[in-house]
Structure 1
Amino acid sequence: MEFKEPPTELPTLSDLVTQLLLKDEPALIQALEKIPTGLYASLFNAAFTGAHINILRQIVKIWPFPCLHMGTLTIREPQQELLKAMIESFQVTPDQSSASWCSKLRILDLRQDAVLRITCPGNNDTSSVCFHSCIYYAQSAMCIPAQCRNENAESEDHSSMQSLQIILDLSLNGTLKGREFFSLLVRKVQQSLGTLHLCCRDLKIDKLSDCKGSLSFLDLKCVDYLSVEQASLTEVTKLLTQMANLDSINLSKIICRSLTGRTFKRFTTNLKRMTSLAELNLSSFTLTNHLDCLLRVLPPTLEFLSLVFCELSNNDFRFLSQCPQTNNLKLLNVSNNPLYWEDCGPFQHLLEKNSGTLQHLEMDHCLMTDSTVSVLIPALSQCSQLRLLSFACNPISMNVLMRILQHLTPLMELSHVIYPIPVHCYRRWHLQGSIDQQMFDDIEARLKSMLEAAKRSDMNWITYSD
């Protein structure tokens, strides 16, 4: 049967009109206010994608709806200038020429989110409802830092000014471009005289000690996702006291001098307040024999748990397998923790109790031997929802690797497996450049043959070679 290319999707009338309008930029800018509102969404899409910065400025200035969301538009580094242009064009004070408010735009949402539409459904001239508006705006609007107010300005009636929001995800990484972007946001807040609320939903901080001044401009209650790298536990705890209801916490390289002192206790006390926490990622956070103190304060809604380089003990794994906080995990990452004990029952039980929910499992660099993996194979074969399994860089034999493949091929959801190179392929175990390439090629060929025999060509088995 001759293969035919599927028909390409024809452009809509709106697309055709938009492309026609963009060909004459000066005429389009002049006629923007006369264009039907139904064309604005596609026009905004095309202007952003085509980097028509002047058109984009004008669209934001006269946007005919209360909210504007980036939605599915992809924001890359060269497009940062477009974001800056949108922020600069966002009207936060009355038009000086008319002393009145001419823009209908109240919420500028700069997040990339596949579920967001450019404007909220039903948002029109008679409805100002935005389903993504900040729920903390009412409290934060009256708590703008003093440096945001114009101390020399004459007193004016702020009740007539509009409530405005910029919703965004922020990465405070200390780079020049990052600092420039944040300075633009601060200037916009200052220009608004307290009516503009910066609503940060996703906050990533590279070095906490370097950005304390920047944090004073944010209402931290808005943050849903917090990621901090390089900080003391005391600094992290102070940050958590200002947050209301985090969904996700990611902490890496956090300095904690004692797991039995007041600092750690204050940290866990603040974690206990996060009743909707679904994701906890800890890396290089030593928790030996104290994982129970951390996990027992968390809600039973936990779905994503990553404990990389946490120096977990057998007692920690035993608690991990028993506590109710780990009953419905979708992701589990215990890489770079030893799993070479004779008694692997606790971890086996952990896999069994999450067999109906676990989708992503990583156990790289865990020093697992043949005996350990053999104990875990029956539990792994019960994980019916598993989509990704990674157990690279563990010293196992070819025979055990073949057994794993045979037991995993019936898992129809499993599409990606990252496996360890068997020890017989190394001249010296896990030493750079010590792999026998011919042996390694033979293993790849054998795995491919076994997958074809099992009719699982959709399952990708890869590894990390030196």
Structure 2
Amino acid sequence: MDRQKPLRLVDLAAQSLLEDEAAAIATLQSLQRECFPPLFVLAVAGRRCRTVQAMVEAWPFPYLPLGALLKTLQCDQDILKAALKGIDVLLTCDFRPTHWKLQVLDLRSDAETNFWHVWAGLGDGVSASLSCESVAAQASPERRGVGHACTREKEQHSAEAGVLVLLSDLCFTEPSPDELLTFLAKRVKENKLLPQLCCRRLQFIFEPLTLHIITKIFDKVHLDCVEEVEVRCHWEMKYIVKFTQYLRKMVHLKSLYFGQAFLDHWTHWEATAVTWLCAHFSSAVVHLQHLRHLHICGTSSLLGQFHQVFRHLEAPLESLGLTDSCITGSDLEYLSRCSSICRLSILHLRNVQMVGVDAGFLNILLERISGTLKELDLSGCGMTDTEFTAILPALGRCSQLDFLRFCGNSVSMDVLQSLLLRTLPQNMIRVLETPLPRECYVSCGGTRTVDMTTVRNWLDQLNQILEDLGLGLEWLEQNLYPEKNCISVTFDFTL
């Protein structure tokens, strides 16, 4: 019979101490620092907010990975709010006791650290031979390499200046911002000192705070630590101009996403204003030498402006998404010869209307990236037999392709069959989403409906094609979606 692992003496002492929260807080002044982590874990697990606040104030180590602990114990925002109250006290103090060592509060839920495993005994494989000094050094930001540019010099400078550093993603949302954003905005409004901020990800989901608050917060962000930026909200011209000024300083940015809401209202601006903004953005992009992933949703306002947007983009992109919009022939022509997309592994042109656009440029683009392309999404592009026939040569050369989606287009059985026979033997496709052939639809009372008899005949043909190619097919019938007018196929490459 399994026996429950007995509690350690330090755990029993911590439990006993927390029974009287006032006494526990009073004891922190004389508590040995090795007792802090197990006591802190129990305080967080027990939702003892007052104790958590007091322990953050008196934390005897330079580093506190709170985010990882909150995720492990599935805590709510109350604990984070309590911890930030402790930070508020530390930022206000003119003098701190020498045993209060906190320099960095890490709020990232995926922070790589075994701090809690070593100090608080969480999980297996805890080494009892590690000394206090070695574990403290292991948990310090200098040893862990926080971000690209949050270097040892920055951390030491912040510590010498008595300024705390928060490691956290920032999500600017209203009307329900998280506790961290509420904390920062409140300090700005009260004209109080802000901590330094090292952020890996910045998100702007809804209408932002006032430009004054945004500017004050960004002045404390180490912009060269930012790796991902996502913008989904409407912005006035002044916000966009300010944002591009910050963007040029994000020199280690890897991923940039613009949602449709960001660009929708650009269509109401004068063409000269849009051209000026594109040029302004382009001048910022030249500094982003590490940018690898770019997704722009709703590019209709950028029609004819792709040369402005991409001309200074020198770093080779790994993924490019241009979705939910229209594209002009000149834009597609420019993309087909743009040097920054010659190594793409992911290309998403979902719901990009290319009606009347010469598909030959798309064929050239696919040929240029045929050696690296792994994922291609052409769904909802309004393409017909003519366009797909034009790109067949390039698709046949995409030797690394393992995901292909082109549902939502009007294609005949003959062209679909040619596409499968030309493409499947040459690449590594495992997931394929195709439209139902044009012949599967019938007109009834002015509306189009799916003729299931024709669909079943097509499925039989499709299955025969795959068998002739020596490809195993999984769950064909279960992946038929008449309501979406597509078929999803998963292949099993066991020849």
Match of 1:455 in 2: 472
1:414 and 1:405 map into 2 onto residues whose CA distance is 11
Match of 2:364 in 1: 349
Match of 2:121 in 1: none
Which secondary structure state, in structure 1, belongs to the residue aligned with residue 135 of structure 2? Answer: coil
Which secondary structure state, in structure 1, belongs to the residue aligned with residue 363 of structure 2? Answer: helix
Compared CA separation, residues 392 and 131, structure 1 to 2 (3 A): same
- Partner deviation per Cα, 1:90-141 (whole Å, 9 max, x = no partner): 4752898x9515443322222344x733559997335741411663898899
Match of 2:62 in 1: 66
**Given that residues 333 and 361 in structure 1 are in contact (C-alpha distance below 8 angstroms), is that contact kept between their aligned partners in structure 2?**
yes
1:17 and 1:432 map into 2 onto residues whose CA distance is 75
Mapped pair 1:105 → 2:93: no
Match of 1:362 in 2: 377
Instruction: Decide which of 393, 400, 416 is 1:401's aligned counterpart.
Output: 416
- Partner deviation per Cα, 1:231-263 (whole Å, 9 max, x = no partner): 245531321112302333222332153167434
Instruction: Decide which of 284, 288, 295 is 1:281's aligned counterpart.
Output: 295
- Partner deviation per Cα, 1:257-277 (whole Å, 9 max, x = no partner): 316743432232223233332
1:41 and 1:445 map into 2 onto residues whose CA distance is 63
Question: Could you tell me how far 1:420 is from its partner in structure 2?
Answer: 1.8
1:62 and 1:408 map into 2 onto residues whose CA distance is 64
Instruction: Decide which of 364, 374, 381 is 2:389's aligned counterpart.
Output: 374
**Given that residues 392 and 464 in structure 1 are in contact (C-alpha distance below 8 angstroms), is that contact kept between their aligned partners in structure 2?**
no
Q: Which moved more, 1:86-95 or 1:384-393?
A: 86-95
1:465 partner letter: E
How many residues align? The count is 436
**Given that residues 322 and 350 in structure 1 are in contact (C-alpha distance below 8 angstroms), is that contact kept between their aligned partners in structure 2?**
yes
Which secondary structure state, in structure 2, belongs to the residue aligned with residue 316 of structure 1? Answer: helix
2:17 and 2:463 map into 1 onto residues whose CA distance is 55
2:285 partner letter: L
Which secondary structure state, in structure 2, belongs to the residue aligned with residue 237 of structure 1? Answer: helix
**Given that residues 418 and 462 in structure 1 are in contact (C-alpha distance below 8 angstroms), is that contact kept between their aligned partners in structure 2?**
no
Question: Could you tell me how far 1:26 is from its partner in structure 2?
Answer: 3.0
Instruction: Decide which of 276, 280, 292 is 1:262's aligned counterpart.
Output: 276
Q: Which moved more, 1:182-191 or 1:284-293?
A: 182-191
More helix by share: 2
Question: Could you tell me how far 1:394 is from its partner in structure 2?
Answer: 0.5
- Partner deviation per Cα, 1:262-317 (whole Å, 9 max, x = no partner): 34322322232333322222122323232122211112332222122442212221
Question: Could you tell me how far 1:423 is from its partner in structure 2?
Answer: 2.1
**Given that residues 418 and 463 in structure 1 are in contact (C-alpha distance below 8 angstroms), is that contact kept between their aligned partners in structure 2?**
no
1:258 partner letter: A
**Given that residues 53 and 82 in structure 2 are in contact (C-alpha distance below 8 angstroms), is that contact kept between their aligned partners in structure 1?**
yes
Match of 1:117 in 2: 113
Which secondary structure state, in structure 2, belongs to the residue aligned with residue 217 of structure 1? Answer: helix
Question: Could you tell me how far 1:84 is from its partner in structure 2?
Answer: 2.7
Match of 2:127 in 1: none
2:245 partner letter: T
Mapped pair 1:250 → 2:257: yes
2:171 partner letter: S
Match of 2:198 in 1: 199
1:419 and 1:463 map into 2 onto residues whose CA distance is 10
Which secondary structure state, in structure 2, belongs to the residue aligned with residue 317 of structure 1? Answer: helix
Question: Could you tell me how far 1:381 is from its partner in structure 2?
Answer: 3.5
Question: Could you tell me how far 1:322 is from its partner in structure 2?
Answer: 1.0
Question: Could you tell me how far 1:454 is from its partner in structure 2?
Answer: 0.9
Compared CA separation, residues 435 and 464, structure 1 to 2 (3 A): closer
1:348 and 1:225 map into 2 onto residues whose CA distance is 31
Which secondary structure state, in structure 2, belongs to the residue aligned with residue 396 of structure 1? Answer: coil
- Aligned-pair RMSD on alpha carbons? 4.8
Match of 2:77 in 1: 80
Match of 1:145 in 2: none
Compared CA separation, residues 58 and 380, structure 1 to 2 (3 A): farther
- Partner deviation per Cα, 1:329-374 (whole Å, 9 max, x = no partner): 1221222333355842221121122123223222122111123223
Question: How do residues 31-42 of structure 1 correspond to structure 2 at under 5 angstroms?
Answer: 40=37
Match of 1:170 in 2: 170
Mapped pair 1:26 → 2:18: yes
1:192 and 1:41 map into 2 onto residues whose CA distance is 36
**Given that residues 141 and 195 in structure 1 are in contact (C-alpha distance below 8 angstroms), is that contact kept between their aligned partners in structure 2?**
no
Q: Which moved more, 1:345-354 or 1:442-451?
A: 442-451
**Given that residues 203 and 225 in structure 1 are in contact (C-alpha distance below 8 angstroms), is that contact kept between their aligned partners in structure 2?**
yes
**Given that residues 366 and 394 in structure 2 are in contact (C-alpha distance below 8 angstroms), is that contact kept between their aligned partners in structure 1?**
yes
Unpaired runs of at least 5, structure 2 = 119-132, 485-495
**Given that residues 161 and 195 in structure 1 are in contact (C-alpha distance below 8 angstroms), is that contact kept between their aligned partners in structure 2?**
no
